Amino acid sequence: MAITQRNLKAKVTQLLADEFGESGKVTPAGDQVIIVISRADYEQRHGEILQQIQRAIDKNCPVRSEHLFILVRDDAGIYENRVKIWKSVLSGAAKIKL
């Protein structure tokens, strides 16, 4: 069963806070979840971090009825990337009666 947008954002915020631990600060804000990491991590591991986020969300929240935005930025305020985590295809299929 799909979870609501508010519950999804709260669950993803806690999930990513656990995932990143001390290496990142995770906070919800408006329609997105913000992750602040060190500039060195952003420059050296950006792609890996995006994959880590996607895997964690897909594994723990496989059915999503809404899109979710994740903003990843460095602690120096130089870099930032906003990514969209798409709602799952299954969320619409679950409503179809055969």
Q: Order of strands across the sheet with 80-85?
A: 24-29, 32-37, 68-74, 80-85
pLDDT, mean over the chain: 87
* Per-residue pLDDT tens digits for 54-86: 999 999 988 888 889 999 999 999 999 999 999
pLDDT at 84: 94
pLDDT at 64: 87
Nearest to 35 by CA among 7, 57, 58: 57
Q: Quick check: 15 pLDDT over 70?
A: yes
Domains and CATH numbers, the chain: 5-89 (3.30.300)
- B/e letters for 11-41, b = 16+ CB within 10 Å, e = fewer, are ebbebbeebbeeebebeeeeebbbbbbeeeb
Pairing of strands 80-85, 68-74: antiparallel
Which range has the worst mean pLDDT, 24-28, 52-56, 76-80, 91-95? 91-95
Report yes or no: 69 and 51 within 8 Å, Cβ to Cβ: no
Structure tokens that stand for 98 in this block:
């055969």
